Chains A and B, each alone.
Chain A
């Protein structure tokens, strides 16, 4: 069985490095995008098994990108974890409305994120 693919759309290099390092000892394959537009393009081209979507992104916001992905046939049912900047400001509800399968507030614990990923897409 092929390795599961995860797409992480996030503009901050350090945040991407955390996830990159976190997945180092797992079998998941990581794709990275730094803005919403690129994120949508890669998601539709590569059809990843899971998408991690930051909400605050340059060009196209994470919420908008999720709406687009939900409309596209290739990614309509792909699990998406939205990473909100502040769980208490209503972002979680907005993320759900835009089509997120789950959400995590920043700053998140890598341990929690990995648990969430494993629950949605078990390692191959």
Chain B
């Protein structure tokens, strides 16, 4: 039966409550002990008071008899007899306050009864006018009896006082013991409660911390480990679920990675498969044009050149579509290497030079000769310039196209300016979107997929650069992008 967190907490609180009850019970026990001892002390005091009362009674009896002997009047004698009654009452009371001294009390009673008898007799003698005999009896019998009574009661008082001292000492001992018992119980309870609290809270916090750490790792893409939580409670179940989630996420992650790899491989294969026939088409066409297979009549050269240009165009479109697929799949990677800006611009000029010459467009480049060696993906930057310069040539009927480079601080500014048809203000924002061209008539007149600018923008952004355009309809356009002179670290799209 697994212990739930609920049960654990409940058990901990129950134990603490039990400890509190125990401490309370021990305290009550000690208090009742103290109370009992106080009662005993009160009883002893009452006992002593009763004994003293008896002594007092005896003495006053002797005194009043002596007075009666000197002044034998009726009211004195009455007082003496009344006192005898009072003494009898005091004696009766002793029976209740001093139950445990029966022997001595018996003696006291006997002696006192004798004393009463003697005193009564003395009173009768005085009443009968026999004062002399009364005095005789008083001296010979009442006096010694009173002495004995005083002795015995003194004994009783001493005993009671000794009992009282003993009781007080016992009370102090008991108080010390009780104090230690209460302190001991309280300290033990606090210790137990703290230990319990620590154990319980740690048994909850430790798994939570472990799972938190594991979740961080999973969030960082590490699906290789399970979190170990031995708890057999809700937290254990949570950890088991966490591990299941980890496995499931790991499985999905691996499947996605595999799918992505397959897509990437597929793209690479498609790219290769499309290029192979294109190589044959363009290669043989060029060989024919170059007269390898015999002289080519001038009127055949024109369609052959058209085949050549269309083939190259088709190739660029294929490359663009493949590039965009790569970007979409997040598979495009930069391959930074050292390069010379002059070489890059020169390659573009060489590739597009014949097209510019065909259209009679002045195609110029302006690169400062003292630029330092740059570090970036030169192939991709060439691609950007090819796209921009290709567009510029495409949309320019006459005038000039210029590629200019400038170094400002750590940034290279590449600028492609043309004297073409220009771009309307409302198109400037959207021109870098996919499949976007100025408008549909442009597509019909100039062709193209509208992917070049979108790819160029992505490549520039991967380099951590920025691209923008300034244009005036009918006057021309100027595309500018920045690339760090030295690329620190490649960035994903």
Contact = CB atoms under 8 A, between A and B. Distances in A.
B287 interface: yes
B275 interface: yes
A18 B279 contact: yes
Interface in B267-283: 268, 271-272, 275-283
Interface of A is mostly: helix
Contact of B276 (A15, A21, A89, A93): A15
B278 A107 contact: yes
Contact of B275 (A18, A21, A24, A85): A85
A122 interface: no
B286 A88 contact: no
Interface residues of A, number: 23
A106 B290 contact: no
Interface in A3-43: 12, 14-15, 18, 21-22, 24-25
A94 B335 CA distance: 10
B383 interface: yes
Contact of B271 (A18, A86, A109): A86
B404 to A, nearest CB: 24
A66 B186 CA distance: 86
B446 interface: no
A92 interface: yes
Contacts of A107: 275, 278-279, 281-283, 315
Contacts, number: 66
Contacts of A22: 287, 292
B280 A15 contact: yes
B25 interface: no
B276 A18 contact: no
B9 to A, nearest CB: 61
A106 B279 contact: yes
B379 A88 contact: yes
Contact of A18 (B272, B280, B333): B280
B39 to A, nearest CB: 103
Given A92-B379, A93-B335, A86 B275 contact: yes
A17 B380 CA distance: 31
Given A12-B276, A15-B276, A22-B292, A110 B287 contact: yes
B292 A21 contact: yes
Contacts of B323: 88
B293 interface: yes
Query: Which of A18, A56, A107, A109 counts the most chain B CB atoms within 10 A?
Result: A107
B246 to A, nearest CB: 35
B335 A90 contact: yes
B279 A108 contact: yes
B373 to A, nearest CB: 16
B284 interface: yes
Interface in B246-285: 268, 271-272, 275-284
A90 B279 contact: no
Interface string A60-76: 00000000000000000
Contacts of B383: 88
B170 interface: no
Contacts of A12: 276, 280
A108 B283 contact: yes
B337 interface: yes
A22 B290 CA distance: 9
Interface string A88-115: 1110110000000000001111110000
Interface of A: 12, 14-15, 18, 21-22, 24-25, 56, 85-90, 92-93, 106-111
19 contacts: A14-B284, A18-B283, A18-B284, A25-B292, A56-B272, A85-B275, A86-B271, A87-B379, A88-B319, A88-B380, A89-B268, A89-B335, A90-B333, A93-B335, A106-B275, A107-B275, A107-B281, A109-B283, A110-B290
Given A14-B280, A111-B290, 17 more contacts: A14-B277, A14-B284, A15-B283, A18-B279, A18-B280, A18-B287, A21-B287, A21-B292, A21-B293, A24-B292, A25-B292, A89-B268, A93-B335, A107-B279, A108-B279, A108-B283, A110-B287
